[in-house]
Homo-oligomer: A and B are copies of this chain.
Amino acid sequence: MTQNIYDDPEFFEGYSRLPRSERGLAGAPEWASLRAMLPEIAGLRVLDLGCGFGWFCRWAMENSALSATGIDVSEKMLARAKAESDPAIQYIQADMDRLNLVRGSYDLIYSSLAFHYLKNLNALLGEIAGALAPGGRLVFSVEHPMLTAPRHPEWIESNGAKRWPVSDYLNEGARETNWLAPGVIKQHRSMTSYINMLIANGLQLLHIEEWGPTDAQLAAQPSLGDERHRPTFLLVSAERAR
């Protein structure tokens, strides 16, 4: 089973105070880019893998989705999601490394910053491809592989210029980092693995984005400037063949 760090009290406490937890989708700087990769939501059957506090499911229902289902491994996050959500949204606690989904039952599967925790992403992508209706779409984000590659991720600075040292990029596997709590386990995968796994599972690539702040975001929040030196997130949309 994948590590469930979200129910660790220290991690949960820290995570709950992030802008994306307190303010929801609007608190995530990459949301505008992800949103641009989504199909028109009205009338769709939507599944969010790693739904956390349920912000995306709630947004989907507010935008006239036909149904919204959220899956997460974290009991604490689901408890808050249920307490704050439209009762029409279905929340399910499950390990995404061992998920069985009903075939052809969703038009949109979404996942924000969850797949890089999973050990068995290839099997999950097979489940996703089967669970999408023909023409259905998968839209997801992960930490960018340049972030997950180094065993000791850090910026270095010389002559006032920031640089991001990459190492072990082609050596995939577990990385232990200290983010909000010690000992958080992520799975490093290359761009190659993400993209070829999608294609091999019958999902046709539509668009990717290696996310960094826009000019407007930089003007409002100059501290984001370093994030143009290397992308923070990888955003992907793909479609099940019609």
Contact = CB atoms under 8 A, between A and B. Distances in A.
A23 to B, nearest CB: 25
A168 B229 contact: yes
Interface in A191-242: 191-192, 195-196, 199, 204-210, 212, 227-231
Nearest to A198: B205
B230 A166 contact: yes
B209 A167 contact: no
A161 B171 CA distance: 14
A171 B150 CA distance: 22
Contacts of A1: none
B195 A230 contact: no
B167 A161 contact: yes
Prevailing SS type, chain A contact patch: mixed
B209 A171 contact: no
Given A163-B165, A165-B163, A190-B210, A170 B228 contact: yes
What bracket does the count of chain A residues touching chain B fall in? 20 to 34
A102 interface: no
A204 B204 contact: yes
Contact of A231 (B170, B228, B231): B170
B229 A166 contact: yes
B162 A156 contact: no
A150 to B, nearest CB: 7
Contacts of A207: 196, 199
B163 A166 contact: yes
Given A191-B191, A191-B210, A231 B169 contact: yes
A199 B199 CA distance: 13
Contact of A164 (B161, B167, B206, B208): B167
15 contacts: A146-B166, A149-B230, A156-B165, A163-B167, A164-B165, A166-B166, A167-B230, A168-B229, A169-B228, A170-B230, A191-B191, A191-B208, A192-B210, A195-B205, A199-B207
Given A163-B165, A190-B231, 15 more contacts: A146-B146, A146-B166, A162-B167, A165-B165, A168-B229, A169-B210, A169-B212, A170-B210, A171-B228, A191-B208, A192-B208, A192-B209, A195-B205, A196-B208, A205-B205
